[in-house]
């Protein structure tokens, strides 16, 4: 039975684009609109002119109560209830499709003469923390050479506030792309929270008795998927493919792509440093796969601003400010199955897994001893605090940068440490689970084929 559903799901992924377009057209063409639809139509037209998106306001009850009620109904009647997709959700999906297709570049004319071929591309993965995104944009605005950068924001949540922040950027070329399989776009079906899915903490025996959709596929710890955790790994992998293979203006890009997140903060000389690192890689470390702007451990500069190390890439140290070349991306592509089926909902720990399994040699990273990237986010998926204080984090980071201002913008870099070319001592973390569902595996692998 599940195999039949999986076949249906695969066909659904392949024809998703056509379904979205047809559904959206049907919504807009189905007779005289209601009053609410009239208002929405006006908002869409306003949004097209201002590039400020409409925010989806979910009105669902808690996932647990919905699941329990749905599963009780399944057990009672031994039928799977049909999940209805509201018309507005279909319209949102159509808008996302159109924006990803158009790939409009803001400020392109203004910076066309400044930006060089194969210059740096910075990709920011954005969820829904506008207070931190403002800090990141502020740090980018202060960065020397930022006018040479193509800045891409990859979103999995659509809100007017976030779009206004992006719209305010006038210091470089800007593009927005949108993860097309977000929870927001699939609120009551996979890859979102399908009420027919199994509750996280029931046993496999109970799940099979209930007949929930993914009963056969708990993770390594006996838990069933939670969409809010699965989404980040999906988004990261999709973003990687879309940027390298689907953005028209980057079709022949041979430069670096720097991957950062909405709660990062960059030093004023990050662009300068990456230029020096790229030159050093070419001259002294051609097999370096990743250039990293820094790790979590090094906070002070202490005459380290012109020093880098070459070592094995580790998820706990080098997942911030990763710059990849196309060659490095191609290496990861060859490990798609290993990445997409590894039972860990973290993209970085899944990448660590590839280092000791699929890849012929460990990922080699050149990392700055004095960081040019900082983690400002003290709240998020792995950080549970009663209040988020981005202003406090900003003050701490700016104090570090001000105290080390005379060490920024080094003229030349020096490799101070090299680890031997061996996998010995390089081991993956113990898997965290949360990625046992075969639907997540298949969707993850499908990004190579569908955008």
Q: Which residues of 79-93 are buried (b: 16+ CB within 10 A; e: fewer)?
A: eeeeeeeebebbbbb
pLDDT-derived band at 361, boundaries 50, 70, 90:
confident
Over residues 75-99, mean pLDDT:
72
Distance CA 169, CA 151 (A): 10
Over residues 326-337, mean pLDDT:
96
Is 409 in a helix, a strand, or coil? coil
Which residue's structure tokens are 């991306």? 329
Report the binding-site residues. Answer: 125-129, 156, 231-235, 263, 375
Residue 421 class from Cβ within 10 Å (0-12 exposed, 13-18 middle, 19+ buried)?
A: exposed
Q: Which residues of 97-110 are buried (b: 16+ CB within 10 A; e: fewer)?
A: bebbeebebbbeee
CA distances from 403 to 91, 137, 321, 413 (A): 51, 22, 22, 20
pLDDT tens, position by position, 424-439: 556 666 899 999 999 9
pLDDT tens, position by position, 90-108: 888 999 999 999 999 999 9
pLDDT tens, position by position, 127-171: 999 999 999 999 999 999 999 999 999 999 988 999 999 999 999
Share of the chain above pLDDT 90, in %: 64
pLDDT-derived band at 31, boundaries 50, 70, 90:
very low
Instruction: Give the pLDDT of residue 377.
Output: 76
Over residues 356-378, mean pLDDT:
90
- Whether 231 shows a pLDDT value over 80: the answer reads yes
Higher pLDDT, 287 or 381: 287
Q: Which two tokens stand for residue 19?
A: 């379904």
- Whether 75 shows a pLDDT value over 90: the answer reads no
Can you spell out the DSSP letters for 32-85? SPPHHHHHHHHHHHHHHHH-PPPPP------HHHHHHHHHHHHHHHSSPPPPP-
Instruction: Give the pLDDT of residue 122.
Output: 98
Over residues 237-251, mean pLDDT:
96
Share of the chain above pLDDT 70, in %: 75
pLDDT tens, position by position, 416-426: 988 766 555 56
Instruction: Give the pLDDT of residue 35.
Output: 38
Instruction: Give the pLDDT of residue 378.
Output: 62
Instruction: Give the pLDDT of residue 30.
Output: 38
pLDDT tens, position by position, 291-312: 999 988 766 688 899 999 999 9
CA distances from 40 to 33, 34, 86, 299, 409 (A): 10, 10, 14, 48, 49
Instruction: Give the pLDDT of residue 119.
Output: 97
Higher pLDDT, 277 or 10: 277
**Domains along the sequence of the chain with CATH:** 87-378+391-447 (3.90.550.10)
Which residue's structure tokens are 């940068």? 401
Cross-strand partners of 105: 175
Instruction: Give the pLDDT of residue 47.
Output: 43
Q: Assess contact for 335 and 448: CB atoms under 8 A.
A: no
Instruction: Give the pLDDT of residue 17.
Output: 45
CA distances from 188 to 19, 49, 355 (A): 17, 31, 36
Average per-residue pLDDT for the chain: 83
Instruction: Give the pLDDT of residue 23.
Output: 45
Report the binding-site residues for substrate. Answer: 125-129, 156, 231-235
Question: Measuring CA to CA, which residue among 193, 195, 188 is closest to residue 86?
Answer: 188
pLDDT-derived band at 19, boundaries 50, 70, 90:
very low
pLDDT-derived band at 414, boundaries 50, 70, 90:
very high
- Whether 52 shows a pLDDT value over 70: the answer reads no
Cα 87 from chain centroid?
A: 27
**211 φ/ψ angles, rounded to the nearest 5 degrees:** 80, 25
Report the binding-site residues for Mn(2+). Answer: 263, 375
């Amino acid at each position: 039975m599940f195999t039949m559903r999986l076949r249906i799901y695969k066909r659904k992924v392949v024809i998703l684009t056509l379904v979205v377009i047809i559904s959206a057209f049907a919504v807009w063409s189905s007779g005289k609109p209601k009053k609410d639809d009239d208002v929405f139509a006006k908002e869409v037209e306003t949004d097209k002119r201002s590039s400020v998106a409409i925010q989806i306001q979910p009105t669902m009850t808690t996932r647990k109560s919905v699941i329990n009620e749905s599963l009780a109904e399944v057990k009672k009647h031994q039928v799977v209830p049909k999940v209805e997709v509201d018309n507005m959700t279909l319209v949102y999906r159509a808008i996302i499709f159109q924006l990803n297709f158009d790939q409009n570049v803001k400020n392109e004319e203004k910076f066309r003469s400044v930006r060089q071929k194969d210059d740096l591309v910075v990709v920011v993965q954005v969820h829904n923390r506008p207070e931190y995104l403002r800090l990141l944009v502020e740090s980018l605005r202060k960065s020397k050479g930022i006018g040479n950068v193509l800045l891409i924001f990859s979103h999995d949540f659509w809100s007017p506030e976030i779009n206004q922040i992006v719209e305010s950027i006038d210091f470089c070329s800007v593009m927005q792309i949108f993860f097309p399989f977000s929870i927001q776009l699939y609120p009551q079906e996979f890859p979102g929270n399908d009420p027919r899915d199994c509750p996280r903490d029931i046993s496999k025996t109970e799940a099979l008795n209930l007949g929930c959709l993914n009963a056969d596929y708990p993770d390594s710890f006996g838990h069933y998927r939670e969409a809010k955790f699965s989404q980040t790994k999906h988004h990261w992998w999709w973003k990687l493919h879309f940027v390298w293979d689907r953005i028209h203006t980057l079709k022949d890009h041979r430069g670096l792509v720097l991957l950062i997140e909405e709660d990062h903060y960059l030093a004023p000389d990050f662009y300068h440093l990456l230029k020096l690192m790229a030159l050093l890689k070419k001259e002294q470390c051609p097999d370096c796969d990743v250039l990293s702007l820094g790790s979590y451990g090094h906070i002070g500069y202490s005459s380290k601003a012109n020093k880098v190390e070459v070592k094995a890439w580790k998820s706990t140290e080098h997942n911030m400010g990763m710059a990849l070349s196309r060659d490095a991306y191609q290496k990861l592509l060859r490990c798609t199955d290993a990445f997409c089926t590894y039972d860990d909902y973290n993209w970085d720990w899944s990448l660590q897994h590839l280092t000791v399994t699929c890849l012929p040699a460990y990922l080699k990273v050149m990392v700055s001893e004095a960081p040019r990237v900082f983690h400002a986010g003290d709240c998020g998926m792995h950080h549970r605090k009663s209040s988020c204080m981005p202003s406090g984090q900003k003050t701490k980071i700016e104090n570090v940068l001000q105290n080390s201002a005379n060490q920024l913008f080094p003229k030349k870099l020096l490799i101070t440490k090299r680890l031997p070319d061996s996998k010995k001592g390089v081991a993956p973390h113990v898997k965290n689970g949360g990625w046992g569902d075969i639907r997540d595996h298949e969707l993850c692998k499908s990004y190579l084929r569908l955008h």
